[in-house]
Structure 1
Amino acid sequence: MKIQATFLLIAAVVICLAAHGLCLANPKITRCRCVKVSSHFIHPRKFQHIDIFPQNSYCRKVEIIITLKDDAKICVNPQAAWVKKVINILTERK
């Protein structure tokens, strides 16, 4: 009887965690990456690379993270005019 109660308790905990997505979800992507965004112009010569993360179930906004050559990461506003121009130029090259 004691083993059955223990098994029942463990099963209940696993079901609760699964219902909240804690068992299956990657904890690194369960929220937006950018807390604060910048609209200030950053010259493309300083870029190392750009990461664009579309909307998903964890974050309801598009996020653009620019990694600079000194490894600093900056979240930029995807609605800023200069960001749109940079993205258009990069997509035209491909």
Structure 2
Amino acid sequence: MSSMIKVFLLLAVMVCISKAQFNEMGQQCLCHRVRNGIGRKSEIKDVQIYPATNFCNKVEIVVTLNSSLRYCLNPKLMAVKKLLTNIMGNQKNTTTKPKEFTTTAGSTNTPIAPSA
């Protein structure tokens, strides 16, 4: 093969590599495809919500099933919005409020060790 053909092939490979990297720049998202259905809610083990960032400009919702299968949901669907509202409502109901400390003049908020 002549050296001129080698140079052109090398140049073509470099252009292809740079094009592939350019298309992925800024779009390093987890979800390349999304499901339009939720499936059985009883099989859902975990739901993770990833907000839009510099690397991926869209909100991503990743569902993990009890069988460890993972898939992405379409965040624009009404059923998905209802599911997230339901999950957020349950979290608010199960969280406990922090205990409040009251202080008087000259006192501290240090715990008192039980007497033996």
- TM bucket normalised to smaller: 0.5 to 0.7
Measured in 2, the distance between the counterparts of 1:88 and 1:40 equals 16
Q: Give the match for residue 36 of structure 2.
A: 39
**TM-score where L is the length of structure 2:** 0.54
Q: Give the match for residue 67 of structure 1.
A: 64
**TM-score where L is the length of structure 1:** 0.66
- Unaligned runs of 5+ residues in structure 2 are 1-26, 93-116
SS in 2 for 1:74: strand
Measured in 1, the distance between the counterparts of 2:47 and 2:37 equals 16
SS in 2 for 1:65: strand
Q: Give the match for residue 75 of structure 2.
A: 78
1:41 alignment partner AA: I
1:42 alignment partner AA: G
SS in 2 for 1:40: coil
CA shift, 1:43, in A, is: 1.7
CA shift, 1:41, in A, is: 3.0
Q: Report % sequence identity.
A: 29
Measured in 1, the distance between the counterparts of 2:37 and 2:86 equals 18
Measured in 1, the distance between the counterparts of 2:47 and 2:89 equals 15
- Runs of 4 or more, structure 1, over 4 Å off, are none
SS in 2 for 1:45: helix
- Unaligned runs of 5+ residues in structure 1 are 1-29
